[in-house]
Amino acid sequence: MNTAVAAHCPYCALQCGMTLTPREPGALVGPRDFPVNEGALCQKGWTAASLLDTPDRLREPLVRRRRGEPLRPAGWDEALDLVAGRIRELQDRHGPDAVAVFGGGGLTNEKAYLLGKFARVALRTSQIDYNGRFCMSSAAAAGTRAFGLDRGLPFPVTDLRDADVIMLVGANVAETMPPLVRHLRRARDRGGLIVVDPRRTATAEQAALHLAPRPGTDLALALGMLHAVVAGGHLRRDYADARTTGLAQAWRIAARWRPEEAERVTGVAGACLRDAVELLAGARNAYLLTGRGTEQHSSGVDTVSGWINLALALGLPGRAGSGYGCLTGQGNGQGGREHGQKADQLPGYRRLDDEAARRHVAAVWGVAPEELPAAGRSAYELLDALGAGTGPRALLVFGSNPVVSAPRAGHVARRLAALDLLVVADTVPSETARLADVVLPVTQWAEEDGTMTNLEGRVLLRRRALSPPQGTRTDLTVLRELAVRLGQPASRFPDDPEEVFDELGRASAGGPADYAGISHRRLRAGEVLHWPCPDRRHPGTPRLFLDRFAHADGRARFVPVDHRGPAERPDPDYPLIATTGRILAHYQSGAQTRRVADLLRAAPAAYVEVHPDTARRAGLADGDRARVVSRRGTVEVEVRCVPTIRLDTVFLPFHFPGDERANLISNPALDPTSGMPEFKACAVRLAPANGERP
């Protein structure tokens, strides 16, 4: 008889605990008591086992020798020889940067680590980045500059249970991570939940105070609130003096943002803004949490700095029972950004331009520091450069589906088509895999061991619960096989997850995200370990910053930031603002969840949420097919009239493919610091779809 294996959900950064009981075929999901989810799961979690036996699961490599030909099955050796051969050919002709790598925030720590090492050591390319650039990069940059360290939640998620007041900014957790709502109950039931979102989301519905700013104006709101903190006498000056620097410079800017000024820009009444400040300031324990809604902007880093400044003025960060945090999105969004698949980083959250970091990691890898390439392009810049000019001629994609998830997706698909070689490792024929020259079928969550670092910086071991399908290999094996074919010694590219993790620990030792003391063995034994954990006897660090922040002087930084607004504003041709986001039934590009029958039934197609008046003016009614047109493309979707949305705003979920891709219209204007594209605000117009109406 098969026994239940303790597992974690394959989707978001909560990494809810569950059990998996193998069946023939597939497995059965059961509840498991785990602090993050207390046995609860959302519909995605309950149905996650369907991923294991989805009918179009990839079970053998696919190859196309020439463009225009269909993909046909091939043996592993044939496929890998082909890939390695083409890589050598292209690099011989165009140099190492002719080959690029694109990773993902859903990959395990072991995979993220080995992918970065593969790029820098086996390919010696600088051209590696990942889809987390589209997810956490703004919060990460702002967190690092404020606190000297970026860990999404610098406290366990269960600490939220004791808060009086919680302010969620641009985070619709009731849909994107439902079990988290359990930890918000106390604050909510006491009238202490504040939600900032342009839409009246399922989360905003529960708030005592819902502030609905015009998309792209969050920083003006944060500045107005900082002003109200000072003007209302709520500034924690003792805390600011003892634990921070830079308040005066930040205040000089906020002094210009009276709530009435902020109101004019955001549309949020000055009175509501003050109410929010009073709630936060009056709380014994309070948290300010940001999500993608406020981060995915071309001014995302400054916007998050604005929120952190507010939290610092209220004395929240680094105080037991209070704090600032960002809610990581992807399953391993935290670990994925720490171990070297980011264009400018080495394992342990080290910087690629730091000589000491290069020396340390090069020594672990057995190469000379000067052999390590410099920092490469950020995700969108990388995709934009493919197959043109000095850009890469080949791309290897692991754990990502940029044809759906990248901004200006139509353009990105054309860039992918211009490559000499596109290789995609995936479990299913995703939209990106379908464009590939070589598709490599890999194993997934329940079929392999690996660690994930969840939104609270806790490292979790995800165990193998059942055998992978015949014909698939792990990403680690794929990287090892390719590295060997490219002339690397096999010993340098282990494919045993535990062995890879131990090496990751050595590479991260002494870095900001220090995993040196964590091991699969300790995790198997049930230890609860949050990084940093520098040695085998260290108990881990569930709460950061209680004594000092991670800057050399131990103080947090106020950063002087000012509002500048979105890169593209509405005009007579494109009078509305489109914003995008997630819905409960789907995850990311939908490559997984659209293959789960229950989830597809719950949310079968994309749509556009519109105020009924705005729809009517565009000649549309509820249920009509509409075209949403931006300067970059057009999406055709169904109209869903929602009387609570702002008249100037439309919303599209981004999980759907083809003509329903929300990213056909999104704006790739990038944040100058983080490289984050402006997913959350672009100018559009709305019209009836062709042939639907006169």
Partner 1 sequence: MVIVGYGMAGARLAEQVRARDPEGGRVALTVVGAEPWPAYNRVLLSGVLAGTMTAADIALHDPAWARGNRVRLRLGARAVRLDRAARTVRLADGASIGYDALVLATGSRPWLPPVEGLADDRGEPAEGVATLRDLDDCLRIVDQARPGVPVAVLGGGVLGVETALGLARRGAGVTLIHPADHLMERHLDRTAGMILAALCRAAGVRAVTGRAAVRYYPGEGVKLEDGAFVPAAVTVVTAGVRPETGLAADAGLAVDAGIVVDDRLRTADPLIHAIGDCARAGRAPQGLVQPAWEQAAVLADLLTGADGTARYRAGPVVTRLRAGDVDLTAFGETHLEADLTALGETHLESDSPRAEVLSYVDPARGTYAKLALADDRVIGAIVLGLPDAAATLTQLHDTGGPAPGDRPALLFGRALPQAVADDPARLPDSATVCRCNSVTKADLVRAARSVGGDLGALMGATRAATGCGDCLRTVRRLAERLEDDSGNTTEGTGT
Question: Residue 648, interface with partner 1 (CB under 8 A)?
Answer: yes
Helix (H) or strand (E) holding 520: helix 520-524
Helix (H) / strand (E) containing 175: helix 173-176
User: Cα–Cα distance between 495 and 474 in angstroms, integer?
Assistant: 8
| Dihedral sign, Cα of residue 609, residue 610, residue 612, residue 615 | negative
Taking CB under 8 A as the binding criterion, the range among 246-254, 328-336, 531-539, 653-661 that sits at the site for partner 1 is: 246-254
- As measured in angstroms, the least distance from the Cβ of 259 to partner 1 is 8
* DSSP codes of every residue in 307-353: HHHHHHHTT-TTSTT-EEEE---STTHHHHTTTT-STTEETTTEETT
Q: Does 271 bind partner 1 (CB under 8 A)?
A: yes
* Least distance in angstroms from the C-beta of 57 to partner 1: 24
In the complex, the smallest distance separating the C-beta of residue 253 from partner 1, rounded to whole angstroms, is: 10
3-state class of 257 per DSSP? coil
Residue type, 542: P
- Among the residue ranges 127-135, 179-187, 511-519, 653-661, the one whose residues contact partner 1 (CB under 8 A): 179-187
Distance, in Å, from the CA atom of 202 to the CA atom of 205, rounded to the nearest integer, reads 5
User: Counting contacts by CB under 8 A, is residue 46 touching partner 1?
Assistant: yes
Q: Applying CB under 8 A, which of residues 644, 658, 672, 693 lies at the interface with partner 1?
A: 644
Site string for partner 1, 87-126 (x = CB under 8 A): ----------------------------------------
Q: Which is nearer to partner 1, 84 or 220 (CB)?
A: 220
Dihedral class, residue 366 (left if φ above 0, else alpha if ψ from -120 to 50, else beta): left
Site for partner 1 contains 255 (CB under 8 A) = yes
| Binding track over 54-93 against partner 1, x by CB under 8 A | ----------------------------------------
Encoded tokens for 187: 């604050």
* Backbone CA torsion sign across 341, 135, 13, 244: positive
Shortest CB 686 distance to partner 1, Å = 13
What is the x/- site pattern for partner 1, positions 314-343, by CB under 8 A? ------------------------------
Residue closer to partner 1 by CB (options 22, 570) is 570
278 binds partner 1 (CB under 8 A): no
Choices 19-27, 110-118, 405-413, 640-648; region in contact with partner 1 by CB under 8 A: 640-648
**Binding residue for partner 1, selected from 71, 202, 367, 546, defined by CB under 8 A:** 202
Binds partner 1 (CB under 8 A): choice among 78, 241, 260, 371: 260
Binder of partner 1 out of 64, 94, 124, 182 (CB under 8 A):
182
Is the peptide bond between 402 and the residue preceding it cis, with omega within 30 degrees of 0?
A: no
> x/- contact string, 204-243, with partner 1 (CB under 8 A)?
--x-------x---------------xxxx----------
Give me the torsion for CA of 535, 536, 541, 547, rounded to 10°. -40
23 contributes a contact to partner 1 by CB under 8 A: no
Selected binder of partner 1 within 17, 103, 116, 270 (CB under 8 A): 270
- 34 vs 16: CA distance, rounded Å: 7
Of residues 46 and 102, the one with the C-beta less far from partner 1: 46
User: Any contact of residue 251 with partner 1 (CB under 8 A)?
Assistant: yes
- Site size with partner 1, rule: CB under 8 A: 55
488 vs 486: CA distance, rounded Å: 6
Nearer to partner 1, 189 or 353 (CB): 189
Q: How far is the CB of 295 from partner 1 (least distance, A)?
A: 23
Q: Is 570 in the site for partner 1 (CB under 8 A)?
A: yes
Q: Are 209 and 276 in contact, with CB atoms under 8 Å apart?
A: yes
Query: Could you tell me the two tokens for 575?
Result: 């009078």
Q: In whole angstroms, what separates CA 83 from the centre of its chain?
A: 29
- Paired tokens of 462: 């995800």
Q: Judged by CB, which is closer to partner 1: 273, or 403?
A: 273
Find the shortest distance in angstroms from Cβ 234 to partner 1: 11
Q: Tell which positions 607-636 bind partner 1, by CB under 8 A.
A: 611-613, 616-617
Spell out the alpha helix ranges (H) of 26-108: 43-46, 76-94
Among 5, 149, 602, 687, binds partner 1 (CB under 8 A): 602
Q: By the 8 A CB rule, do 448 and 468 touch?
A: yes
Q: Which of 179, 215, 300, 331 binds partner 1 (CB under 8 A)?
A: 179
Buried/exposed code over 203-239 (b: 16+ C-beta within 10 A; e: otherwise): bbebbbbbbbbbbbbbbbbbbbbbbbbbeeebbbeeb
Q: 649 has which bridge partners?
A: 577
Q: How far apart are CA 222 and CA 248, in angstroms?
A: 16
Task: Decide: residue 111, CB within 10 A, 0-12 exposed, 13-18 middle, 19+ buried.
Answer: buried
User: CA torsion sign, 466 to 470 to 472 to 474?
Assistant: positive
Among residues 127 and 172, whose Cβ is nearest to partner 1?
172
Query: CA 438, CA 435: separation in Å to the nearest integer?
Result: 9
- Pick from 150, 164, 175, 503 the residue near partner 1 by CB under 8 A: 175
575 sits near partner 1 (criterion: CB under 8 A): yes
> Which among 375, 304, 301 is positioned nearest to 675, based on CA atoms?
301
223, 262 in Cβ contact below 8 A? yes
At 439, the amino acid letter reads: V
- Stretch of 39-47, 280-288, 463-471, 654-662 lying at the interface with partner 1 (CB under 8 A): 39-47
Give the residue with the Cβ less far from partner 1, 16 or 123. 16
The stretch among 145-153, 170-178, 282-290, 449-457 that binds partner 1 (CB under 8 A) is 170-178
**What's the 3-state SS for 216-252?**
CCHHHHHHHHHHHHHHCCCCCHHHHHHHEECHHHHHH
Residue from the set 64, 258, 506, 522 that interacts with partner 1 by CB under 8 A:
258
Stretch that binds partner 1, among 42-50, 313-321, 358-366, 509-517 (CB under 8 A): 42-50
For partner 1, which is the closer residue by CB, 247 or 311?
Answer: 247
Q: Which stretch binds partner 1 (CB under 8 A): 360-368, 440-448, 597-605, 686-694?
A: 597-605
Residues that bind partner 1 (CB under 8 A): 31, 39-43, 46, 174-175, 178-182, 202, 206, 214, 230-233, 248, 251-252, 255-256, 258-261, 263-264, 266-272, 570, 575, 584-585, 598, 601-602, 611-613, 616-617, 643-644, 647-648
